[in-house]
Structure 1
Amino acid sequence: MEIAFICVNYNNSKITLEYILNVIRIKQNHRVKIIVVDNASDIKDVNQLETDIENLKTNAVLLLKSEHNLGYFKGLNLGIKCALENGYNQFQVIGNNDLEFYNDFLDVLERIEIKDYELILAPDVITIEGIHENPHVINKMSFLRKLKSEIYFSNYYLAKLITRFYSSERKPKSFDSERKHIYMGIGALYVLTPNFFLNFDKLWDDVFLYGEEAILAGQICSVAGKIVYEPMLKCNHNESATTSKMETKYKYKIIQSSYKIYKKYL
Protein backbone atom coordinates (compact mmCIF):
# COMPACT_ATOMS: atom_id res chain seq x y z
CA MET A 1 0.00 0.00 0.00
CA GLU A 2 1.24 3.49 -0.89
CA ILE A 3 0.57 6.16 1.68
CA ALA A 4 1.76 9.69 2.42
CA PHE A 5 2.09 11.14 5.92
CA ILE A 6 1.91 14.93 5.90
CA CYS A 7 2.47 17.26 8.84
CA VAL A 8 3.32 20.90 9.46
CA ASN A 9 6.29 22.13 11.47
CA TYR A 10 6.50 25.54 13.12
CA ASN A 11 9.44 26.00 15.48
CA ASN A 12 9.06 22.44 16.79
CA SER A 13 11.83 20.52 15.06
CA LYS A 14 12.34 18.14 18.00
CA ILE A 15 8.67 17.14 18.04
CA THR A 16 8.64 16.81 14.26
CA LEU A 17 11.67 14.50 14.37
CA GLU A 18 9.84 12.26 16.86
CA TYR A 19 6.88 12.17 14.43
CA ILE A 20 9.17 11.17 11.56
CA LEU A 21 10.88 8.43 13.57
CA ASN A 22 7.52 7.05 14.67
CA VAL A 23 6.24 6.79 11.09
CA ILE A 24 9.49 5.15 9.96
CA ARG A 25 9.08 2.56 12.75
CA ILE A 26 5.54 1.62 11.73
CA LYS A 27 5.88 1.68 7.94
CA GLN A 28 7.12 -1.93 7.63
CA ASN A 29 6.65 -3.11 4.02
CA HIS A 30 4.35 -0.29 2.97
CA ARG A 31 5.54 2.36 0.52
CA VAL A 32 5.51 5.47 2.67
CA LYS A 33 6.48 9.08 1.99
CA ILE A 34 6.72 11.48 4.93
CA ILE A 35 6.25 15.08 3.85
CA VAL A 36 7.02 17.80 6.38
CA VAL A 37 5.92 21.34 5.53
CA ASP A 38 7.90 23.95 7.44
CA ASN A 39 5.79 27.05 7.98
CA ALA A 40 8.59 29.64 7.94
CA SER A 41 10.13 28.59 11.27
CA ASP A 42 13.06 30.44 12.79
CA ILE A 43 16.21 29.73 10.80
CA LYS A 44 17.79 27.82 13.69
CA ASP A 45 14.79 25.48 14.00
CA VAL A 46 14.41 24.74 10.30
CA ASN A 47 18.18 24.21 9.90
CA GLN A 48 18.11 21.74 12.79
CA LEU A 49 15.20 19.89 11.21
CA GLU A 50 16.97 19.77 7.86
CA THR A 51 20.10 18.37 9.51
CA ASP A 52 18.10 15.78 11.45
CA ILE A 53 16.41 14.60 8.26
CA GLU A 54 19.73 14.39 6.38
CA ASN A 55 21.19 12.31 9.21
CA LEU A 56 18.42 9.75 8.81
CA LYS A 57 19.86 8.90 5.37
CA THR A 58 16.50 7.88 3.91
CA ASN A 59 14.55 8.99 0.85
CA ALA A 60 11.27 8.39 2.71
CA VAL A 61 11.28 11.94 4.14
CA LEU A 62 10.81 15.17 2.21
CA LEU A 63 11.05 18.65 3.74
CA LEU A 64 9.17 21.48 2.05
CA LYS A 65 10.15 24.97 3.22
CA SER A 66 7.57 27.73 2.85
CA GLU A 67 8.82 31.31 2.81
CA HIS A 68 5.72 32.41 4.71
CA ASN A 69 3.64 30.96 7.54
CA LEU A 70 0.69 29.58 5.60
CA GLY A 71 -1.35 28.42 8.58
CA TYR A 72 -2.56 24.89 9.20
CA PHE A 73 -4.63 23.73 6.21
CA LYS A 74 -2.76 25.86 3.65
CA GLY A 75 0.43 24.27 4.94
CA LEU A 76 -1.06 20.80 4.66
CA ASN A 77 -2.25 21.62 1.13
CA LEU A 78 1.33 22.29 0.10
CA GLY A 79 2.17 18.78 1.27
CA ILE A 80 -0.94 17.25 -0.32
CA LYS A 81 -0.04 18.81 -3.68
CA CYS A 82 3.48 17.43 -3.47
CA ALA A 83 2.22 13.97 -2.52
CA LEU A 84 -0.19 13.87 -5.47
CA GLU A 85 2.55 14.99 -7.84
CA ASN A 86 4.60 12.02 -6.61
CA GLY A 87 1.78 9.54 -7.19
CA TYR A 88 0.46 9.22 -3.62
CA ASN A 89 -3.25 9.36 -4.45
CA GLN A 90 -4.45 6.41 -2.38
CA PHE A 91 -4.33 7.33 1.32
CA GLN A 92 -2.85 10.47 2.84
CA VAL A 93 -2.53 10.80 6.62
CA ILE A 94 -2.60 14.52 7.38
CA GLY A 95 -2.41 16.43 10.64
CA ASN A 96 -0.33 17.67 13.53
CA ASN A 97 3.31 16.83 14.14
CA ASP A 98 2.64 15.90 17.79
CA LEU A 99 1.19 12.46 17.04
CA GLU A 100 2.38 8.93 17.81
CA PHE A 101 0.78 6.24 15.66
CA TYR A 102 0.16 2.75 16.99
CA ASN A 103 2.36 0.02 15.50
CA ASP A 104 -0.50 -1.60 13.57
CA PHE A 105 -1.84 1.66 12.12
CA LEU A 106 -0.98 0.89 8.49
CA ASP A 107 -1.95 -2.79 8.66
CA VAL A 108 -5.36 -1.81 10.06
CA LEU A 109 -5.78 0.89 7.42
CA GLU A 110 -5.03 -1.62 4.66
CA ARG A 111 -7.84 -3.89 5.88
CA ILE A 112 -10.54 -1.23 6.19
CA GLU A 113 -13.41 -1.44 3.71
CA ILE A 114 -14.52 1.98 2.51
CA LYS A 115 -17.73 2.85 0.70
CA ASP A 116 -17.70 5.20 -2.28
CA TYR A 117 -19.16 8.12 -0.32
CA GLU A 118 -16.73 7.77 2.62
CA LEU A 119 -14.11 10.41 1.89
CA ILE A 120 -12.33 10.78 5.22
CA LEU A 121 -11.45 8.55 8.16
CA ALA A 122 -11.25 10.05 11.66
CA PRO A 123 -9.11 7.76 13.88
CA ASP A 124 -9.30 7.27 17.64
CA VAL A 125 -7.05 10.12 18.84
CA ILE A 126 -6.03 9.82 22.49
CA THR A 127 -4.51 12.69 24.48
CA ILE A 128 -1.90 12.26 27.20
CA GLU A 129 -4.72 12.80 29.72
CA GLY A 130 -6.60 9.80 28.32
CA ILE A 131 -9.23 11.81 26.45
CA HIS A 132 -10.56 10.18 23.27
CA GLU A 133 -10.98 13.18 20.95
CA ASN A 134 -13.05 11.30 18.39
CA PRO A 135 -15.87 11.00 17.63
CA HIS A 136 -15.60 14.79 17.87
CA VAL A 137 -18.99 16.08 16.66
CA ILE A 138 -21.53 13.49 15.58
CA ASN A 139 -24.32 15.84 14.44
CA LYS A 140 -24.51 19.49 13.42
CA MET A 141 -24.76 22.01 16.25
CA SER A 142 -28.10 22.84 17.83
CA PHE A 143 -29.48 26.39 17.82
CA LEU A 144 -28.58 26.85 21.50
CA ARG A 145 -24.96 25.79 20.99
CA LYS A 146 -24.66 28.15 18.04
CA LEU A 147 -26.11 30.97 20.15
CA LYS A 148 -23.59 30.26 22.89
CA SER A 149 -20.77 30.48 20.35
CA GLU A 150 -22.11 33.79 19.03
CA ILE A 151 -22.04 35.25 22.53
CA TYR A 152 -18.62 33.84 23.34
CA PHE A 153 -17.01 35.25 20.21
CA SER A 154 -18.67 38.64 20.42
CA ASN A 155 -16.14 40.08 22.88
CA TYR A 156 -12.87 38.96 24.49
CA TYR A 157 -13.74 40.15 27.99
CA LEU A 158 -17.19 38.61 27.79
CA ALA A 159 -15.53 35.36 26.74
CA LYS A 160 -13.24 35.56 29.79
CA LEU A 161 -16.27 36.11 32.02
CA ILE A 162 -18.04 33.09 30.52
CA THR A 163 -14.90 30.99 30.94
CA ARG A 164 -14.60 32.02 34.58
CA PHE A 165 -18.00 30.47 35.36
CA TYR A 166 -17.50 27.46 33.13
CA SER A 167 -14.90 24.84 33.95
CA SER A 168 -12.71 24.27 30.92
CA GLU A 169 -11.21 21.11 32.41
CA ARG A 170 -11.88 18.22 30.08
CA LYS A 171 -12.82 14.96 31.73
CA PRO A 172 -11.64 11.69 30.22
CA LYS A 173 -14.42 9.98 28.32
CA SER A 174 -14.77 6.32 27.59
CA PHE A 175 -13.61 4.79 24.33
CA ASP A 176 -16.35 4.57 21.70
CA SER A 177 -15.95 1.25 19.90
CA GLU A 178 -18.70 1.87 17.31
CA ARG A 179 -17.63 2.76 13.78
CA LYS A 180 -19.98 5.51 12.59
CA HIS A 181 -20.49 8.49 10.34
CA ILE A 182 -19.83 11.78 12.11
CA TYR A 183 -20.18 15.42 11.18
CA MET A 184 -16.71 16.52 12.34
CA GLY A 185 -13.50 14.78 13.32
CA ILE A 186 -10.90 16.38 15.54
CA GLY A 187 -8.59 18.58 13.50
CA ALA A 188 -5.36 16.97 14.74
CA LEU A 189 -5.60 14.01 12.35
CA TYR A 190 -7.48 12.89 9.25
CA VAL A 191 -6.96 10.11 6.75
CA LEU A 192 -7.89 11.19 3.23
CA THR A 193 -9.18 8.16 1.32
CA PRO A 194 -8.89 7.54 -2.44
CA ASN A 195 -12.52 8.70 -2.67
CA PHE A 196 -11.52 12.14 -1.40
CA PHE A 197 -9.21 12.56 -4.39
CA LEU A 198 -11.98 11.64 -6.81
CA ASN A 199 -13.72 14.82 -5.67
CA PHE A 200 -10.97 17.20 -4.50
CA ASP A 201 -7.27 17.84 -4.86
CA LYS A 202 -6.95 20.01 -1.74
CA LEU A 203 -8.58 21.01 1.54
CA TRP A 204 -10.70 24.11 1.73
CA ASP A 205 -8.32 26.47 3.52
CA ASP A 206 -10.38 29.59 4.23
CA VAL A 207 -8.88 30.16 7.70
CA PHE A 208 -5.32 30.60 8.92
CA LEU A 209 -5.82 28.62 12.11
CA TYR A 210 -8.79 27.19 14.07
CA GLY A 211 -12.18 26.12 12.74
CA GLU A 212 -10.70 23.78 10.14
CA GLU A 213 -12.91 20.92 11.39
CA ALA A 214 -16.10 22.81 10.51
CA ILE A 215 -14.84 23.92 7.12
CA LEU A 216 -13.78 20.38 6.23
CA ALA A 217 -17.21 19.12 7.30
CA GLY A 218 -18.77 21.64 4.92
CA GLN A 219 -16.42 20.57 2.14
CA ILE A 220 -17.33 16.88 2.52
CA CYS A 221 -21.06 17.66 2.73
CA SER A 222 -20.83 19.70 -0.49
CA VAL A 223 -20.46 16.45 -2.45
CA ALA A 224 -22.76 14.38 -0.20
CA GLY A 225 -19.74 12.61 1.26
CA LYS A 226 -19.18 11.24 4.75
CA ILE A 227 -16.54 11.39 7.47
CA VAL A 228 -16.12 8.06 9.25
CA TYR A 229 -15.02 7.62 12.85
CA GLU A 230 -12.77 4.55 12.69
CA PRO A 231 -11.99 3.29 16.23
CA MET A 232 -9.52 0.63 15.03
CA LEU A 233 -7.10 3.29 13.80
CA LYS A 234 -5.30 4.69 16.83
CA CYS A 235 -2.75 7.31 17.73
CA ASN A 236 -1.62 9.28 20.77
CA HIS A 237 -1.76 13.08 20.74
CA ASN A 238 0.51 15.43 22.66
CA GLU A 239 -1.92 18.20 21.87
CA SER A 240 -1.34 21.83 20.98
CA ALA A 241 2.44 21.77 20.82
CA THR A 242 2.41 25.02 18.82
CA THR A 243 -0.79 26.80 19.78
CA SER A 244 -0.18 26.34 23.51
CA LYS A 245 2.66 28.85 23.18
CA MET A 246 0.29 31.65 22.15
CA GLU A 247 -0.78 34.43 24.49
CA THR A 248 -4.44 34.06 25.50
CA LYS A 249 -5.76 37.28 23.96
CA TYR A 250 -3.82 36.75 20.74
CA LYS A 251 -5.16 33.21 20.50
CA TYR A 252 -8.71 34.44 21.12
CA LYS A 253 -8.41 37.03 18.34
CA ILE A 254 -7.28 34.38 15.86
CA ILE A 255 -10.17 32.08 16.80
CA GLN A 256 -12.65 34.99 16.72
CA SER A 257 -11.51 35.92 13.22
CA SER A 258 -11.78 32.32 12.04
CA TYR A 259 -15.21 31.91 13.65
CA LYS A 260 -16.70 34.56 11.38
CA ILE A 261 -15.72 32.34 8.43
CA TYR A 262 -16.45 28.83 9.69
CA LYS A 263 -19.64 29.42 11.69
CA LYS A 264 -21.82 28.81 8.63
CA TYR A 265 -20.67 25.19 8.62
CA LEU A 266 -21.49 24.42 12.27
Structure 2
Amino acid sequence: MSNIEEKVLLLCVNYQNDSETLAFLRSVFETDRAGRVRVAVADNTVRSDTERTRFKLEAESIGQYVCVTSANTNLGYFGGLNAAFEKASIEYPEILFSCVVLSNTDIEFGSSHFFDELVESIDHRTRASLLNNIGVIAPVIQSSRTGANQNPLYRRKPSRGKFSYLSAIYSVYPLGVAHRLLSKVKNFVKNKSNIGKVELKDEAIYAAHGSFMVMLHEYFARGGKLAYPEFLFCEEIFVAEQCASLGLTTLFCPSLRVVHRENATTGLLPSRKIVSYLQRSHLYCRDNYL
Protein backbone atom coordinates (compact mmCIF):
# COMPACT_ATOMS: atom_id res chain seq x y z
CA MET A 1 0.00 0.00 0.00
CA SER A 2 1.04 3.61 -0.46
CA ASN A 3 1.09 6.12 2.36
CA ILE A 4 -2.29 7.44 1.32
CA GLU A 5 -3.78 4.01 1.99
CA GLU A 6 -2.03 3.24 5.25
CA LYS A 7 -2.06 6.21 7.58
CA VAL A 8 -4.81 7.66 9.75
CA LEU A 9 -4.82 11.16 11.22
CA LEU A 10 -6.87 11.45 14.41
CA LEU A 11 -7.91 14.87 15.70
CA CYS A 12 -9.36 15.56 19.14
CA VAL A 13 -9.95 18.44 21.53
CA ASN A 14 -9.09 18.69 25.21
CA TYR A 15 -11.22 21.06 27.27
CA GLN A 16 -10.70 21.02 31.02
CA ASN A 17 -10.46 17.24 31.01
CA ASP A 18 -6.79 16.28 30.99
CA SER A 19 -7.22 12.85 32.59
CA GLU A 20 -9.87 11.73 30.09
CA THR A 21 -7.89 13.04 27.12
CA LEU A 22 -4.68 11.35 28.24
CA ALA A 23 -6.53 8.06 28.83
CA PHE A 24 -8.09 8.35 25.37
CA LEU A 25 -4.67 8.87 23.76
CA ARG A 26 -3.37 5.76 25.51
CA SER A 27 -6.33 3.77 24.19
CA VAL A 28 -5.65 5.00 20.65
CA PHE A 29 -2.10 3.69 20.66
CA GLU A 30 -3.09 0.45 22.39
CA THR A 31 -5.56 -0.09 19.54
CA ASP A 32 -3.17 1.07 16.80
CA ARG A 33 -1.24 -2.19 16.50
CA ALA A 34 0.24 -1.45 13.06
CA GLY A 35 1.49 2.05 13.88
CA ARG A 36 -0.88 3.67 11.42
CA VAL A 37 -2.20 6.56 13.52
CA ARG A 38 -0.88 10.09 13.89
CA VAL A 39 -2.63 12.27 16.48
CA ALA A 40 -3.08 16.02 16.83
CA VAL A 41 -4.69 17.45 19.97
CA ALA A 42 -6.07 20.96 20.38
CA ASP A 43 -5.86 22.03 24.01
CA ASN A 44 -8.80 24.42 24.45
CA THR A 45 -8.21 24.81 28.19
CA VAL A 46 -7.26 28.31 29.32
CA ARG A 47 -4.47 28.06 31.90
CA SER A 48 -1.00 29.16 32.91
CA ASP A 49 2.02 28.61 30.68
CA THR A 50 3.34 26.07 33.19
CA GLU A 51 0.16 24.00 33.18
CA ARG A 52 -0.16 24.22 29.41
CA THR A 53 3.41 22.99 28.96
CA ARG A 54 2.87 20.19 31.48
CA PHE A 55 -0.16 18.88 29.56
CA LYS A 56 1.66 19.12 26.23
CA LEU A 57 4.67 17.17 27.52
CA GLU A 58 2.51 14.51 29.15
CA ALA A 59 0.34 14.05 26.05
CA GLU A 60 3.28 13.91 23.64
CA SER A 61 5.09 11.38 25.85
CA ILE A 62 2.27 8.86 25.33
CA GLY A 63 3.26 8.09 21.75
CA GLN A 64 5.83 8.95 19.15
CA TYR A 65 3.22 10.49 16.89
CA VAL A 66 1.31 12.92 19.11
CA CYS A 67 1.41 16.68 18.74
CA VAL A 68 -0.43 19.27 20.81
CA THR A 69 -1.40 22.81 19.89
CA SER A 70 -2.84 25.53 22.11
CA ALA A 71 -3.87 29.14 21.57
CA ASN A 72 -4.65 29.38 25.31
CA THR A 73 -8.27 30.07 24.48
CA ASN A 74 -11.37 27.96 23.90
CA LEU A 75 -11.75 27.68 20.13
CA GLY A 76 -14.92 25.58 20.25
CA TYR A 77 -15.26 22.02 18.98
CA PHE A 78 -14.59 22.36 15.25
CA GLY A 79 -12.46 25.44 15.88
CA GLY A 80 -10.20 23.23 17.98
CA LEU A 81 -10.27 20.40 15.44
CA ASN A 82 -9.34 22.83 12.69
CA ALA A 83 -6.40 24.10 14.76
CA ALA A 84 -5.31 20.50 15.35
CA PHE A 85 -5.60 19.80 11.61
CA GLU A 86 -3.39 22.79 10.81
CA LYS A 87 -0.86 21.63 13.42
CA ALA A 88 -0.84 18.15 11.88
CA SER A 89 -0.10 19.60 8.43
CA ILE A 90 3.08 21.06 9.93
CA GLU A 91 4.08 18.04 12.01
CA TYR A 92 3.30 15.36 9.41
CA PRO A 93 3.77 17.14 6.05
CA GLU A 94 5.05 14.10 4.18
CA ILE A 95 1.97 11.94 4.74
CA LEU A 96 -1.14 11.88 2.57
CA PHE A 97 -3.61 10.36 5.01
CA SER A 98 -6.23 7.93 3.76
CA CYS A 99 -8.64 9.42 6.30
CA VAL A 100 -8.96 11.96 9.08
CA VAL A 101 -10.83 10.84 12.20
CA LEU A 102 -12.64 13.49 14.25
CA SER A 103 -13.21 12.11 17.73
CA ASN A 104 -14.50 13.04 21.14
CA THR A 105 -12.25 11.94 23.98
CA ASP A 106 -15.10 9.96 25.60
CA ILE A 107 -14.94 7.32 22.87
CA GLU A 108 -13.98 3.66 23.33
CA PHE A 109 -13.07 1.49 20.37
CA GLY A 110 -15.34 -1.45 19.67
CA SER A 111 -12.45 -3.66 18.60
CA SER A 112 -8.81 -4.04 19.59
CA HIS A 113 -8.11 -3.95 15.84
CA PHE A 114 -10.31 -0.94 15.07
CA PHE A 115 -7.78 1.01 13.01
CA ASP A 116 -6.76 -2.09 11.05
CA GLU A 117 -10.43 -2.69 10.29
CA LEU A 118 -10.94 0.95 9.30
CA VAL A 119 -8.00 0.95 6.89
CA GLU A 120 -9.00 -2.43 5.46
CA SER A 121 -12.55 -1.15 4.94
CA ILE A 122 -11.24 1.90 3.07
CA ASP A 123 -8.79 -0.23 1.06
CA HIS A 124 -11.53 -2.69 0.08
CA ARG A 125 -13.72 0.12 -1.22
CA THR A 126 -10.77 1.71 -3.00
CA ARG A 127 -9.96 -1.49 -4.89
CA ALA A 128 -13.63 -1.87 -5.77
CA SER A 129 -13.73 1.78 -6.96
CA LEU A 130 -16.44 2.53 -4.42
CA LEU A 131 -14.80 5.53 -2.72
CA ASN A 132 -14.70 8.10 -5.50
CA ASN A 133 -17.82 9.86 -4.26
CA ILE A 134 -17.64 9.11 -0.51
CA GLY A 135 -16.55 11.95 1.74
CA VAL A 136 -17.40 10.69 5.23
CA ILE A 137 -17.76 7.29 6.89
CA ALA A 138 -20.05 6.97 9.91
CA PRO A 139 -19.56 3.91 12.14
CA VAL A 140 -22.00 2.47 14.63
CA ILE A 141 -21.73 4.69 17.73
CA GLN A 142 -23.15 2.80 20.66
CA SER A 143 -24.39 4.93 23.55
CA SER A 144 -23.06 3.83 26.92
CA ARG A 145 -26.26 5.14 28.52
CA THR A 146 -28.85 3.32 26.44
CA GLY A 147 -26.89 0.83 24.35
CA ALA A 148 -28.53 2.22 21.21
CA ASN A 149 -26.78 3.31 18.02
CA GLN A 150 -26.46 7.08 17.53
CA ASN A 151 -25.83 6.81 13.78
CA PRO A 152 -27.15 7.87 11.38
CA LEU A 153 -27.73 11.28 12.96
CA TYR A 154 -29.97 12.14 9.99
CA ARG A 155 -30.86 9.67 7.28
CA ARG A 156 -32.41 12.47 5.26
CA LYS A 157 -31.85 16.21 5.17
CA PRO A 158 -33.93 18.16 7.73
CA SER A 159 -36.18 20.93 6.45
CA ARG A 160 -35.15 24.56 6.68
CA GLY A 161 -38.27 25.09 8.80
CA LYS A 162 -36.79 22.92 11.54
CA PHE A 163 -33.86 25.29 11.93
CA SER A 164 -36.18 28.32 11.87
CA TYR A 165 -38.28 26.75 14.62
CA LEU A 166 -35.31 25.77 16.78
CA SER A 167 -33.54 29.11 16.40
CA ALA A 168 -36.74 30.77 17.65
CA ILE A 169 -36.99 28.35 20.59
CA TYR A 170 -33.37 28.97 21.61
CA SER A 171 -33.85 32.74 21.44
CA VAL A 172 -35.78 32.49 24.74
CA TYR A 173 -33.70 30.95 27.52
CA PRO A 174 -36.48 29.15 29.49
CA LEU A 175 -37.86 27.68 26.26
CA GLY A 176 -34.37 26.59 25.26
CA VAL A 177 -33.84 24.80 28.57
CA ALA A 178 -37.24 23.12 28.36
CA HIS A 179 -36.58 21.99 24.80
CA ARG A 180 -33.18 20.52 25.70
CA LEU A 181 -34.67 18.58 28.62
CA LEU A 182 -37.57 17.26 26.55
CA SER A 183 -35.18 16.31 23.76
CA LYS A 184 -33.07 14.30 26.20
CA VAL A 185 -36.16 12.41 27.40
CA LYS A 186 -37.37 11.85 23.82
CA ASN A 187 -33.97 10.59 22.66
CA PHE A 188 -33.67 8.33 25.70
CA VAL A 189 -37.03 6.69 24.98
CA LYS A 190 -36.30 6.46 21.26
CA ASN A 191 -32.87 4.94 21.83
CA LYS A 192 -34.24 2.42 24.32
CA SER A 193 -36.70 1.23 21.70
CA ASN A 194 -33.88 0.80 19.20
CA ILE A 195 -31.72 -1.42 21.38
CA GLY A 196 -31.07 -4.76 19.74
CA LYS A 197 -31.76 -3.58 16.22
CA VAL A 198 -28.92 -4.84 14.05
CA GLU A 199 -27.67 -2.79 11.12
CA LEU A 200 -26.13 -5.05 8.49
CA LYS A 201 -25.73 -3.03 5.32
CA ASP A 202 -23.83 0.08 4.29
CA GLU A 203 -26.20 2.97 3.70
CA ALA A 204 -25.87 6.42 2.17
CA ILE A 205 -27.12 8.96 4.73
CA TYR A 206 -27.32 12.74 5.09
CA ALA A 207 -25.35 13.38 8.29
CA ALA A 208 -23.09 11.44 10.66
CA HIS A 209 -23.01 11.87 14.44
CA GLY A 210 -20.32 14.35 15.41
CA SER A 211 -18.78 12.44 18.32
CA PHE A 212 -16.83 10.24 15.88
CA MET A 213 -16.67 10.67 12.14
CA VAL A 214 -14.18 9.58 9.50
CA MET A 215 -13.39 12.01 6.70
CA LEU A 216 -11.85 10.41 3.65
CA HIS A 217 -9.08 11.90 1.51
CA GLU A 218 -11.61 12.87 -1.16
CA TYR A 219 -13.37 15.25 1.26
CA PHE A 220 -10.28 17.44 1.54
CA ALA A 221 -9.14 16.86 -2.05
CA ARG A 222 -12.37 18.45 -3.31
CA GLY A 223 -12.06 21.42 -0.95
CA GLY A 224 -13.89 20.30 2.19
CA LYS A 225 -13.01 22.26 5.32
CA LEU A 226 -13.19 22.04 9.11
CA ALA A 227 -13.43 25.83 9.53
CA TYR A 228 -17.00 25.96 10.88
CA PRO A 229 -17.83 29.61 11.62
CA GLU A 230 -19.88 28.94 14.76
CA PHE A 231 -18.52 28.00 18.17
CA LEU A 232 -20.54 24.89 18.99
CA PHE A 233 -23.44 22.71 17.76
CA CYS A 234 -24.72 21.74 14.29
CA GLU A 235 -21.22 20.83 13.08
CA GLU A 236 -22.70 17.70 11.53
CA ILE A 237 -24.94 19.82 9.29
CA PHE A 238 -21.92 21.90 8.26
CA VAL A 239 -20.09 18.73 7.17
CA ALA A 240 -23.15 17.21 5.50
CA GLU A 241 -23.77 20.35 3.46
CA GLN A 242 -20.15 20.52 2.37
CA CYS A 243 -20.39 16.92 1.19
CA ALA A 244 -23.55 17.75 -0.73
CA SER A 245 -21.98 20.78 -2.39
CA LEU A 246 -18.88 18.77 -3.34
CA GLY A 247 -20.83 15.88 -4.81
CA LEU A 248 -19.88 13.53 -1.97
CA THR A 249 -21.84 11.01 0.07
CA THR A 250 -21.76 10.16 3.77
CA LEU A 251 -21.68 6.38 4.20
CA PHE A 252 -23.03 4.65 7.30
CA CYS A 253 -20.78 1.62 7.77
CA PRO A 254 -22.13 -0.75 10.48
CA SER A 255 -19.10 -3.08 10.30
CA LEU A 256 -17.17 -0.41 12.23
CA ARG A 257 -18.16 0.28 15.86
CA VAL A 258 -17.19 2.58 18.72
CA VAL A 259 -18.76 3.23 22.13
CA HIS A 260 -19.70 6.76 23.20
CA ARG A 261 -19.56 7.21 26.97
CA GLU A 262 -21.51 10.47 26.59
CA ASN A 263 -19.86 12.46 29.34
CA ALA A 264 -22.21 15.38 29.91
CA THR A 265 -19.70 18.20 29.48
CA THR A 266 -22.45 20.79 29.03
CA GLY A 267 -24.46 19.59 32.05
CA LEU A 268 -28.11 18.57 32.43
CA LEU A 269 -29.36 22.17 32.51
CA PRO A 270 -27.73 24.23 29.77
CA SER A 271 -26.31 27.64 30.69
CA ARG A 272 -27.39 30.82 28.98
CA LYS A 273 -24.17 30.72 27.00
CA ILE A 274 -24.89 27.20 25.73
CA VAL A 275 -28.43 28.15 24.70
CA SER A 276 -26.99 31.19 22.94
CA TYR A 277 -24.59 28.94 21.01
CA LEU A 278 -27.53 26.72 20.08
CA GLN A 279 -29.48 29.69 18.74
CA ARG A 280 -26.53 31.00 16.71
CA SER A 281 -25.78 27.61 15.15
CA HIS A 282 -29.39 26.94 14.20
CA LEU A 283 -29.66 30.43 12.73
CA TYR A 284 -26.53 29.73 10.71
CA CYS A 285 -28.08 26.54 9.32
CA ARG A 286 -31.35 28.33 8.59
CA ASP A 287 -29.65 31.15 6.74
CA ASN A 288 -27.00 29.21 4.86
CA TYR A 289 -28.61 25.92 3.87
CA LEU A 290 -31.83 25.26 2.01
Q: TM-score, normalised by structure 1?
A: 0.88
Identity percentage of aligned residues: 25
Query: 1:109 maps to what in 2?
Result: 118
1:12 equivalent to 2:35? Answer no
Q: Which moved more, 1:141-150 or 1:204-213?
A: 141-150
CA pair 124-165 structure 1, distance change in 2 beyond 3 A:
closer
Give the 5 Å matches for 1:167-182.
167-168=185-186, 170-171=188-189, 172=192, 173=194, 174-182=197-205
- Give SS of 1:115's match: coil
| Residue of 237, 254, 257 corresponding to 2:277 | 254
Q: Deviations 1:74-100 (Å, cap 9, x if unpaired)?
A: 211112223334124321111211111
1:140 equivalent to 2:157? Answer yes
Q: Supply the distance in 2 between the matched residues of 1:144 and 1:9 (Cα, whole angstroms).
A: 34
Query: 1:209 maps to what in 2?
Result: 232
Query: 1:93 maps to what in 2?
Result: 101
Q: Supply the distance in 1 between the matched residues of 2:77 and 2:175 (Cα, whole angstroms).
A: 27
CA pair 55-81 structure 1, distance change in 2 beyond 3 A:
closer
- Give SS of 2:117's match: helix
1:191 equivalent to 2:191? Answer no
Coordinate RMSD, CA, aligned? 2.5
Q: Supply the distance in 1 between the matched residues of 2:99 and 2:228 (Cα, whole angstroms).
A: 20
In the alignment of these two chains, the number of paired residues is 265
Q: Supply the distance in 1 between the matched residues of 2:258 and 2:244 (Cα, whole angstroms).
A: 26
Query: 2:169 maps to what in 1?
Result: 152
Query: 1:69 maps to what in 2?
Result: 74
- Give SS of 1:191's match: strand
Q: Supply the distance in 2 between the matched residues of 1:55 and 1:246 (Cα, whole angstroms).
A: 37
Q: Supply the distance in 1 between the matched residues of 2:164 and 2:281 (Cα, whole angstroms).
A: 17
Q: Supply the distance in 2 between the matched residues of 1:123 and 1:214 (Cα, whole angstroms).
A: 17
CA pair 162-244 structure 1, distance change in 2 beyond 3 A:
closer
Q: Supply the distance in 2 between the matched residues of 1:24 and 1:235 (Cα, whole angstroms).
A: 15
CA pair 41-231 structure 1, distance change in 2 beyond 3 A:
farther
- Unpaired stretches in structure 1, ≥5 consecutive residues: none
- Give SS of 2:69's match: strand
Q: Supply the distance in 2 between the matched residues of 1:38 and 1:83 (Cα, whole angstroms).
A: 14
**In the alignment, is the contact (CA less than 8 A) between 2:13 and 2:80 conserved in 1?**
yes
CA pair 54-237 structure 1, distance change in 2 beyond 3 A:
same
| Residue of 224, 244, 254 corresponding to 1:231 | 254
**In the alignment, is the contact (CA less than 8 A) between 2:163 and 2:285 conserved in 1?**
no
Q: Supply the distance in 1 between the matched residues of 2:55 and 2:200 (Cα, whole angstroms).
A: 37
| Residue of 50, 57, 60 corresponding to 2:56 | 50
**In the alignment, is the contact (CA less than 8 A) between 2:138 and 2:212 conserved in 1?**
yes
- Unpaired stretches in structure 2, ≥5 consecutive residues: 1-5
Q: Supply the distance in 1 between the matched residues of 2:60 and 2:177 (Cα, whole angstroms).
A: 46
Shift of 1:54: 5.0
Q: Which moved more, 1:88-97 or 1:210-219?
A: 88-97
**In the alignment, is the contact (CA less than 8 A) between 2:144 and 2:261 conserved in 1?**
yes
**In the alignment, is the contact (CA less than 8 A) between 2:12 and 2:42 conserved in 1?**
yes
Shift of 1:249: 2.9
Q: Supply the distance in 1 between the matched residues of 2:160 and 2:225 (Cα, whole angstroms).
A: 31
Query: 2:143 maps to what in 1?
Result: 127
Q: Deviations 1:40-64 (Å, cap 9, x if unpaired)?
A: 43347645533432553x3221111
Residue 152 of structure 1 aligns with an amino acid whose one-letter code is I
Query: 1:60 maps to what in 2?
Result: 65
Q: Which moved more, 1:144-153 or 1:31-40?
A: 144-153
| Residue of 215, 218, 221 corresponding to 2:241 | 218
**In the alignment, is the contact (CA less than 8 A) between 1:81 and 1:201 conserved in 2?**
no
Q: Supply the distance in 1 between the matched residues of 2:257 and 2:187 (Cα, whole angstroms).
A: 23
**In the alignment, is the contact (CA less than 8 A) between 1:204 and 1:219 conserved in 2?**
no
